[in-house]
Every structure is written in C-alpha cells, then in structure tokens.
Structure 1
Amino acid sequence: MAPKNKYTNIVLFGQAGAGKSSLVNLTVGKDMATTSNDMKLSTMHWQEYPIEFDGESYKVFDTVGLEEPQLGIPQFLDAIENAYKLIQDLEKQGGIDLLLLCMRAGRLTSTLQNNYWLFHEFLCDKKVPIIVVITYLENEAGEMDDWWKRNEEIFHRQEVHVAGHACITAIAGNSPHRHEESRTTIRNLFKEFAADEQKQAWIGGDSLFVSFMRKLKDLLVGNGKSAREDMVSRLTKRCGMSRDVAEKLADRIKPW
C-alpha cells in the first residue's frame, strides 16, 4: 500500500435529496457545496471538498446519488464507473478512511440497501468503516437520536451493518441549536472513525486495493465468459441490479 497521506479520505454516498451537500456545508461550517434537488444540474462525476477543523485535514468526496430510474441507465453506469475509479485512485494514493452513507429520515428503501452493498461490499470489500448519517430530523420529537433507537433493529434485519450513526439536521432553519449540535456530532464521528485504530480493525489483512484486485483475478480464473457471468451474478444478487445493467457494468470495469 502507498504511504498514508496527510488527509483523511472520506467517500460520501447516498440518494439524491438526502442532504449530502448540506452535510458537507454543515461539517465545514460554511457554504462550500452547491445544494440542489434538480437532477439536471448534477454531474455524474464526484466532487471533492477539503475540510479542516481542530488542526486536522480531511477530503470529502461526494459521489452521485445512485438511483437508476431517475438517472437513466447510461448515467447510472457512468456514476458507478466514476465511483469505482475514484476508490481505486484513493487506495493507490494512501487509502480510504471512511464511508459515509447519507439518508433522509424515513424508510430504509431497497435503493439504499443496494447502494450500501455496492459501496461497502463490491467496491470496498468490507474493508472500510462505514457510518450512516440520517438527515432532516429538525422536527423530531424528543432527541434526534431517538430516531435511531426506533429503527436500529430494521437495519440489522436488512443486513445493513454500520460502525456508527449520526442523527442530525444539516440545515439551520428554526432549529439553530440542533444544527450546531449536528455539526459537533459529525465532526466527532470524522475524528473517531477515521482514526488509524478504527480503520485497522476493519481492514484485517490485505489492503483494499490488493483484496479487490485479488477478487477480480479470482473472477478471471477460467475463460472470460465464466468470469463475466460470475461478476454479473454478484451484482444482481448482492447489489440489486437488473441483469442487463449488471452486464453493462461488468463490461465497463473488467480488468482484461
């Protein structure tokens, strides 16, 4: 693995409209990311945001919300391919320290589950700590964290296992106190789960890059046709893709 750089690298993912850009602005303490619910204004490429606080430097990479029907298949595939290339590039440069799943308070939808498996299992081989951030809780009765207490068991039943969580509001609105509380919560999570000991607890043996390349190499044992079919099967069964979409993605990221 390449030597660790001075930044903590954090990859942010989740559905459009979940408040990912607002989350970036909340953490940095000013408007840095452009917020919009208009899919026509979004890019299929990730956005990079440098963030500094308490003497530490972070880089947050905001990826496109992966929603196939809304994006259309070509754009959906572009977004995944870009995320795949981003993760490989970051690993070569020093590694990924944290995955951040951003979701709006509500149901744990099949799209959210599929995005979780795509990033956590397929792209990162379960070797990067992942935390879930639940947004739009400014009107939650009682404490914002009560939402997690009510819904934690649902995550376990759906096999969405995370190392930590944060229940927040990313907009000040009529709840400036909760907004400031949310900033503190997010920053503390950045520091806690990006720490070397937390990362090592998840990595285990091989680095993410070595592990992922070994997985691809294993898929190639035999002829290219059987390797392709194996990858398609994994994408359909674990990431909820249709066979047609999985085949197109396998052709895009194949290493041969």
Structure 2
Amino acid sequence: MAEPIRVLVFGKTGCGKTSMCNTLANLAPEDDGYQRVAASAKGVTFECHTYKQFSYSNDKGKSIDVIITDTIGLHEHNQGTVPDKEAIKRLLEFLAESTKGYNLFIHVDEPRIMNTQKHNYDMFYEILGQRKIPIILVVTKIDGDAEVTFQEWPKENKHYYIEFNYKEIVGACFARSPKPDLENLYKKDREKSKKLVLQAIFEHGQGETVNVVPNMHTLVRTSINLWNKFLEFVGVEKNFIIWNEPLAQMLQEKWGISKQEARERVNNMMNPSKK
C-alpha cells in the first residue's frame, strides 16, 4: 500500500491557508477537526495542526491518500496572536517531532506580491526544505466569477513569479459567508478550488519523503538560519541571536542530552570560529 502524501502548508497570517486546509480535508464548521478561522486583525492559528488522513481520486480513477499540516501563521505584529519570534520557535518545536517528513510544500498567499512572500518562500523552501521538497503556490481570494478565472489568473501572472521555483501556481478562493446567497457562490468557488489544489498535490507530491530535521545538527543549523532570515527581514543585525536557551532546551527534550551539552552544541554552531 502506498504511503500517504505528506503536505506542509505555510503562509502569512490571514492569507487563507487554514480555510484551504479545512476545505481540502472535507471539513465544515460544524465538523470535528475543523480549525477555526476568522476575519479579525489577529491570526487564529496558534499552533501547527495536522489533519486526519483523507483520500482523493482524480478524473482517471487514480487515488492518493493525503495528510496535510497547517503551520502557524507568520508575520504578525508583536501585538498579534503569535509574534514571529514565538511562531518560529513553535514551528521548529513541531518540526523536531515530525520524523516522517514531507513530500510537498504548499505556499499560500494573496494576489498582490509583498516582501513577506519572498521571505516565507526563502524560510521554507530554501532553508527548511533545502530545495529538496517540491513547492506549489496557491493564490487565494480570487473571485471565480470575475473576468479573470482561477485557471486564467496563473497564466496571466506567472511572469511575476519567475524568480521562484514553484512547480505550479493555482488560483483559488476558499471563503465562506453566513449570508446564504453569497455562501452559495462561495461554495461553488471552494469546490473548484479544492479540485485544482488536489490535482496539483497529485501531480507534484508523489516524490520521496524528505525529513526536514533528521538529526540534532540539522535542527540547530536550520534554527539559526531561520532566525537569521527573520532578523534580516525586520532589519536587525544577523549576529543578534537571542534564543540560545530555547534552542538548547529543544535539543534536551528531543535527544535527551544534558543541559550543558545542549548549550555547548548551540554555542559551537552559532560561533564556529571559537570551537
């Protein structure tokens, strides 16, 4: 029996990634396992969440099993639900326990390209996945009944994404509304979008599974690189590393080493010239 395709979903807070994950997993607001979404100023994805495995069959009758992980939202202000520093820490704690790895990254974002898109792409595809995990882009909040449809939007805008290594760009809309007339329209959009994204998962997610943090050394190196990338984004000196202790604690908890050894390993990685 084939192993399920493991998908890691990431994106900035409020881009619609949790709405997408709920839809792909066939979950409505009244269902167990549905993850809360809200149109508020603060994000609502407090922790990384892995959905129950589900199946998908394409138009040719071929089936796959899929397991989706929705990561914590990034790029919240310090007054947001989970500021970036804490979000990165929680993400790494989660990934340190994710021993089975991933087959595909899905980057979720909105139609307008912002600096946060390149930053998130670099953090996940370049640093976390080391360019070894295929990645697709899902652009949300596109109106399926507008002049530019889901299928047309990627074709008309793909030249803006030349610098990225996306295997595919998918236009989508996963919105919901409490107003029945509007919800009827949104429901059609969600079904179209769901099919397009699942087809992309089927097409690009069947390669080898890659464990993003297979050992202690990789966890420390990845942590440092992710943190430095964040500091670069907010305009702070790269050598201004302030979370040696949380990182050492992660090593202690995952690999059962002493506090002293954990601190030494982190310090050696952060200050290689002093080894």
Tell me the amino acid that sits aligned with residue 182 of structure 1: S
Question: So what's the TM-score if we normalise by structure 2?
Answer: 0.69
Which of the numbers 149, 157, 164 marks the counterpart of 1:143? 149
Which residue number in structure 2 is paired with residue 170 of structure 1? 174
Which residue number in structure 2 is paired with residue 193 of structure 1? 204
Which residue number in structure 1 is paired with residue 11 of structure 2? 14
Deviation per CA, 1:206-240, whole angstroms, max 9, x where unpaired? x64359936956x9xxxxxxxx7x88766555xx2
Unaligned 5+ segments in structure 2 are: 29-33, 57-62, 177-182, 249-264, 267-275
| Residues 136 and 166, structure 2, Cα contact 8 Å, conserved in 1 | yes
| Residues 139 and 170, structure 2, Cα contact 8 Å, conserved in 1 | yes
| Residues 88 and 209, structure 1, Cα contact 8 Å, conserved in 2 | yes
| Residues 100 and 131, structure 1, Cα contact 8 Å, conserved in 2 | yes
Q: Distance in 2 between matches of 1:80 and 1:213?
A: 18
| Residues 45 and 63, structure 1, Cα contact 8 Å, conserved in 2 | yes
Which of the numbers 130, 133, 138 marks the counterpart of 2:138? 133
Tell me the amino acid that sits aligned with residue 140 of structure 1: A
Q: Distance in 2 between matches of 1:76 and 1:101?
A: 17
Select the structure that is richer in helix.
1
| Residues 125 and 212, structure 1, Cα contact 8 Å, conserved in 2 | no
Query: For the structure 1 residues 236 and 185, does the alpha-carbon distance in structure 2 shift closer, same or farther, using more than 3 Å as the test?
Result: same
Deviation per CA, 1:185-214, whole angstroms, max 9, x where unpaired? 111122222202xx47xx7xxx64359936
Instruction: Tell me the SS of whatever aligns to 1:101.
Output: strand
Q: CA RMSD for the aligned pairs?
A: 3.4
- Counting aligned pairs with the same residue, the percent is 18
Instruction: Tell me the SS of whatever aligns to 2:203.
Output: helix
Q: Distance in 1 between matches of 2:216 and 2:146?
A: 40
Q: Distance in 2 between matches of 1:166 and 1:250?
A: 39
Matched residues, number: 229
Query: For the structure 1 residues 137 and 163, does the alpha-carbon distance in structure 2 shift closer, same or farther, using more than 3 Å as the test?
Result: same
| Residues 127 and 226, structure 2, Cα contact 8 Å, conserved in 1 | no
Mapping 1:1-256, distance limit 5 Å: 6-31=3-28, 32-38=34-40, 40=42, 42-54=44-56, 56-69=64-77, 71=79, 75-90=83-98, 92=99, 94-105=100-111, 107-138=112-143, 139-156=145-162, 159-171=163-175, 173=183, 174-196=185-207, 199=208, 208-209=212-213, 213=217, 236-237=231-232, 240-243=233-236, 247-248=241-242, 252-253=246-247, 255-256=265-266
Unaligned 5+ segments in structure 1 are: 220-227
Tell me the amino acid that sits aligned with residue 88 of structure 2: I
Query: For the structure 1 residues 40 and 149, does the alpha-carbon distance in structure 2 shift closer, same or farther, using more than 3 Å as the test?
Result: closer
Instruction: Provide runs of 4+ in structure 1 moved above 6 Å.
Output: none
In our comparison, the structure showing a higher alpha carbon Rg is 2
Tell me the amino acid that sits aligned with residue 57 of structure 1: D
Question: So what's the TM-score if we normalise by structure 1?
Answer: 0.73
User: 53-62 vs 133-142, which deviates more?
Assistant: 53-62
Q: Distance in 1 between matches of 2:79 and 2:121?
A: 18
Q: Distance in 2 between matches of 1:19 and 1:43?
A: 11
Instruction: Tell me the SS of whatever aligns to 1:247.
Output: coil
Q: Distance in 1 between matches of 2:114 and 2:125?
A: 16
Q: Distance in 2 between matches of 1:114 and 1:212?
A: 25
**How far off its partner does 1:140 sit?**
3.1
